[in-house]
Amino acid sequence: MANRIEAQAPPAADTSQVKAVRDPSEIADTYALYLDDESHSFDGRADEILFPTTEGELAALLKQAHAKNVPVTIQGSRTGLTGAAVPLGGIVINVEKMNRLLYMDYEESRGVYTIAAEPGVLLEDLVRAVTTKSLDELRGRGTPDQQAVLERFLKEPTDYTFPVDPTETSACIGGITACNASGARTFRYGAVRDWVFRVRVVLMNGDILDIRRGEVFAEDGRFEIVLSDGSVVEVPVPTYEMPQTKNAAGLYAKPDMDLIDLFIGSEGILGAITLVELGLVPLPENIMTVMAFFPSEDDAVDFVYDVRSSDSPVQMTFLEYFGPNALKIIREKASGAGIKVPALTDSTQAIVFFEFSYTEEDMEEKVMALEEMLNAHNSSSESSWAGLDRAELEKMKTVRHFVPETINATIAQRKQQYHEVHKIGTDMAVPDEALRDYLRFYREVLDSQGMEYVVFGHIGNNHLHVNMIPRNNEEVEQGMANYMTFAKRAVELGGTVAAEHGIGKLKREFLKIMYGESGIQEMQAVKRALDPKWLLNRGNMIDVPSDI
């Protein structure tokens, strides 16, 4: 093991055939979507939009921009919620045409199959190809050993999948790696970081790093990168302490960290990802999905503490929560859609939505243990809704989506009258012991103001989304002030200001709350080492220093 890695010089590449959009009116009209993301918070602008198809082309484009001192925004499918993919001038390099699966391999140290993909591959396409074993495009790709692994995988009687399940399945592989995406099943499987075994990254000068997990580790608080011209770049590792929670805020930093983790979750400010190798897991034999109904929020939280304890006989895949105001939406929309939600009564005040796997041999044992835990917290199997067949699971999915759909529709309607109105949704997470206090803090602040709000989300990771729904422009200001209040409280409790959506261009001020000015300066030092001209994804995560 060592802290040094040698960069590869970019291959000779002809960029004259790269699709380029340079006409200002065409960019503003036909390609307007490439100036925005799902946050809809910035008026993006770009001088040109480029669509490379290979790593060599992308490296050549970055090298050219570096020589001309032109800022570059790397973007994929633009499904993010923080403006990270929104250009604020300069060049856009979009990787959607780098969309090939590359090879399959086997990670001996962890005993898992892996699949490598270019950054523009959509998550939903990769998952579909893996779960259905529709991998003909991989035949003949990779080394002979990798081709042998592919043939072995195709003959496996077991089905496999990529375990991390971000809600936005149209996200691209490069994007979910750059922001360290997560989803409901992160409760069991962790975030994308936990399943990345290799990345190839192009630096702003065009040099290429091939980083495999377990090969390069920080020593004495730094990494050393030998560039293709022979010069050595020292990359300092930040010394701040990250929260012990689900977290997607700032650069990953630990004293003896793996170099690969510096780039995962870095939001594109250190380099452009051109290859990601992801781990796969077997699909469980059977899955049971349940909505358990509780007469109070406290009962629901007590159940969560109980069922997620280390000695719980039922290990959950995910644990989701719907609070009282979310229940109002579910009741209204289910009735309007003619959907009967079994066991949902007028006295129900909270839902815990969860999933666990079982075998025919242990099903009875797990169901009995679950019944005991439900009974201990004023619920039961009779006052729950279990999905055992595809029809019920689809109905559950519909009911679950009533909540965000209704919130978004309400916001759109109010925005017609009040232009500044937008949804203000929190993304904080806190340590296990702080869940109850933090949820109570949310309620006390918002109820005292009379602010309309809905609470739902990933309670298994203490990561609840509190959606504030302003009725007018004045309440938008109040909601943004609340967001700052909630962020400060999360940090006081040992939590994070961004558990899954990242920082991007939208939440830089909140990152300062978490790490202070010294932490921001340490991140800037990493950025300066790898991109001294500050050209790559400028404005993401950290402010541009005054001397740039």
- CA distances 85 to 36, 166, 300, 539, Å, are 7, 17, 38, 10
Residues 75 and 58 sit within 8 Å (Cβ to Cβ) = no
Retrieve residue 289's tokens: 């999905």
Q: How buried is 168 (Cβ within 10 angstroms: 0-12 exposed, 13-18 middle, 19+ buried)?
A: middle
Distances in whole angstroms, Cα of residue 319 to Cα of each of 33, 131, 301, 382, 406 = 34, 23, 11, 19, 22
In order of 247, 437, 510, 519, the CA distances from 489 in angstroms are 16, 10, 12, 19
Give Cα 210 distance to the centre of its chain: 23
pLDDT of residue 315 exceeding 90, the answer is yes
Nearest to 291 by CA among 400, 158, 449, 182: 400
Q: Quick one: three-class SS letters along 121-181?
A: CEHHHHHHHHHCCCCHHHCCCCCHHHHHHHHHHHHCCCCEECCCCCCCCCCEHHHHHHCCC
Q: How far apart are CA 495 and CA 499, in angstroms?
A: 9
How would you classify residue 492: left for phi > 0, otherwise alpha for psi between -120 and 50, otherwise beta? alpha
If one compares 92 and 287, the residue with the highest pLDDT of the two is 92
Does the pLDDT at position 63 exceed 90? yes
Tell me how far the alpha carbon of residue 239 is from its chain's centroid: 24
Please compute the mean of the pLDDT values over residues 159-175 and round it to a whole number. Answer: 94
CA 154, CA 130: separation in Å to the nearest integer?
Answer: 10
60 sits in which H/E element: helix 55-68
Interatomic CA distance for residues 183 and 463, integer angstroms? 11
Please state, in angstroms and rounded to a whole number, the distance separating the CA atoms of residues 151 and 139: 9
Q: What does the block give as tokens for 468?
A: 């504030």
CA-to-CA dists, residue 228 to 7, 44, 54, 81, 232, angstroms: 6, 34, 20, 36, 9
End-to-end Cα separation, the chain, in angstroms: 35
Complete domains list, the chain, with CATH: 4-96 (3.30.43.10), 101-282 (3.30.465.10), 286-492 (3.40.462.40)
Q: Which of 252, 204, 311 is nearest to 502 (CA)?
A: 252
Whether 1 shows a pLDDT value over 80: the answer reads: no
d(CA 166, CA 186): 9
CA angle, 297 as apex, 295 and 303 as ends, to 5°? 85
CA–CA separation, 386 and 379 (whole Å):
13
pLDDT above 70 coverage of the chain, percent: 100
The yes-or-no verdict on residue 390 having pLDDT over 80 is: no
Are 497 and 249 within 8 A, CB to CB? yes
Sign of CA dihedral 71, 76, 79, 81: negative
Residue 383: CB atoms within 10 Å: 18
The predicted-structure confidence for 291-307, as pLDDT tens digits, reads as follows: 999 999 999 999 999 99
What residues contact 165, with CB distance under 8 A and at least 6 apart? Answer: 183, 184, 185, 186
- Region 507-527: what's the mean pLDDT? 97
433 in helix, strand or coil?
A: helix
The 3-class secondary structure across 351-365, one letter per residue, is: EEEEEEEECCCCHHH
Q: Look at residue 490 and tell me whether its pLDDT is greater than 80.
A: yes
Report yes or no: 242 and 73 within 8 Å, Cβ to Cβ: no
Provide the token pair at 493.
């409790």
pLDDT digits (tens, 9 = 90+) for 404-453: 999 999 998 999 999 899 889 999 999 999 999 999 999 999 999 999 99
Helix 297-307 / helix 363-376 crossing angle, nearest 10 deg? 140
Concatenated DSSP letters of 443-458: HHHHHHHT--EEEEEE
Contact 367, 381 (CB under 8 A): yes
What pLDDT is stored for residue 268 in this prediction?
98
User: Which one is predicted more confidently, 412 or 67?
Assistant: 67
Query: Coil, helix or strand for 532?
Result: coil
Q: Which helix (H) or strand (E) holds 324?
A: helix 324-336
Burial class (CB within 10 angstroms; exposed 0-12, middle 13-18, buried 19+) of 529: middle
Token couple for 527: 């950025």
Question: What is residue 280's predicted lDDT score, i.e. its pLDDT?
Answer: 98
Beta-strand pair 222-226/91-94:
unpaired
pLDDT confidence band for 3 (50 / 70 / 90): very high
Helices (H), 2-122: 24-28, 55-68
User: Where are the extended beta strands (E) located within 359-412?
Assistant: 384-387
